[in-house]
Amino acid sequence: MCGIIGIYSPKRQVNQLLFDGLTLLQHRGQDSTGIATLDKNELKLRKNNGYVREVYRTRHMNYLSGHIGIGHVRYPTAGCYTKKEAQPLYVNSPYGIALSHNGNLINSSQLASELSARDKRHINTRSDSEVLLNLFADELYTHGDLKLQPEALFKAIEGVNKRAKGAYATVGLIVGYGIIAFRDPHGLRPLILGKREYKGTTEWAVASESIALTTQDFEIERDVKPGEAIYITLDGQLLSHQCTSTQFYSPCIFEYVYFSRPDSIVDGLSVHQARKNMGHYLAEKIKRVMSPEDIDVIMPIPDTSRTSALEMAKVLNIDYTEGLIKNRYIGRTFIMPGQKTRKKSVKRKLNPVTSEFKGKKVMLVDDSIVRGTTSKEIVSLARQAGSKKVYIASASPPIFFPYVYGIDMPNQEDLIAYQMKTPEKVAEKIGADRVIYQDLDDLITAVKTSGSNPSIHDFDTSCFDGKYSTGDVTQEYLKSIAHRHQENV
């Protein structure tokens, strides 16, 4: 999972707009960041490992001049944790292209072999984003001419959609032409189009989440459709084209469970309302499976589960309290590189308020339980703080299957629900008195009723039920990514 943004402005430099947008998308990736701008026909690029606030200094911002540009924050799920895989990535032919990508290609190895053998393109990293960039460049070379026409550009993206399998929301710069943004035919990863009037001119922007646009006074025009391409020319003309004949709109449900900010609207659905609905349905399940009188307080594991925990407390008429204090200068443990790093970070990230635990039966609420490492550490903290009983409620169902479309849970053996098979055994493994999971049907309803988007056919829930939206995920592929993941841990 990564964050991407692209901005066109005819009357002001876009470097600060890109910086501010990436800061608002920082929760989507903390490994590296990059910005590319186009100043006349010169592409300017700055990228490095680290947070947005760390990578860009005054000298870098001054260098990143231009009225059009793209940016990226990276959370790696393919490739490895190195500076050379920071994005945007660049190729000089044809035209000169810089590209930022959110998602994961499931046929990147096959494509890399094709690009090398047939098209004589060298892939220098293990990043599927570099494969996607070279695939796009190859299609542009095939369909383009000395002067790139919009029809040829859209034909190139049609070619990408036919050859690439998996999830991708992409924004790119083409030197001498403008911004291109496109989304995979299933709409697995989000991409939103915004517009703003500034000094009598029109500015355009695309981003992973609405918050990166609305906070900067862009009005949301719409979501980029699955399989659609958006082309913003250097003179500000916006062109769009449906670049696939087959669509099955199935956005990733984990965007609403964990990744997106609660103040974002993703695919027309409110993340905040979705999480509030999750809390309501989880409360109703607790009424069915245990006595609410056995719970003294409901407490969120900050921050993503706070909305669900508040609604649970309201429905169950149980006191809500904040008993885990978060160090906001530690990154999100779910997206940290390597299991050892995640485990070490829990105690540095969360500190218990002893008075809120001592002598109480505490229901901890989390957005999900993935590997169980963090949950085990938090249960231990609650025990040490004096809790009589510690329950955990998960706003999402048990995760039994690897997720292959851009979230770092590729190895089934790492998933605690798969290891332990039942909630009772999960509770025993992490030291809790009880673990209660959301039902999958309730999660789907919670998200579906958080707004209105009749175009959505379904949600991708593959990590819960093993039904992969693209329909072409094989056991051989799952084994290959599990092996690659172990090499990077």
Q: Is 433 exposed, middle or buried (0-12, 13-18, 19+ CB in 10 A)?
A: middle
Q: What gap in Å lies between CA 10 and CA 110, rounded to an integer?
A: 41
The stretches of 95-200 forming alpha helices (DSSP H) are 108-117, 128-143, 150-163
Dig out the tokens for 234 from the structure: 């250097």
Neighbours of 231 (CB within 10 A): 21
Neighbours of 187 (CB within 10 A): 28
Residue of 467, 343, 447 whose CA lies nearest to 405: 467
- Rg (Cα) of the chain, in Å, rounded? 23
Contact between 2 and 73 under an 8 Å Cβ cutoff? The reply is yes
Residue 96: strand pairing partners? none
Residue of 415, 404, 331, 350 whose CA lies nearest to 74: 331
Residue of 9, 15, 131, 10 whose CA lies nearest to 71: 15
Token pair 């892939």: residue: 123
Look up residue 93 and give its DSSP letter. S
- What are the C-alpha distances in Å from 54 to residues 47, 50, 406, 476? 11, 6, 25, 40
Q: Residue 236 region, left (φ>0) first, then alpha (ψ -120 to 50), else beta?
A: left
Query: Which uninterrupted H or E stretch holds 198?
Result: strand 192-198
Q: What 3-state DSSP class applies to 475?
A: helix
Q: What gap in Å lies between CA 299 and CA 354, rounded to an integer?
A: 13
Look up residue 409 and give its DSSP letter. B
Active-site residue list: 2
CA 343 to chain CA mean position, Å: 21
- What are the C-alpha distances in Å from 450 to residues 261, 267, 276? 14, 11, 9
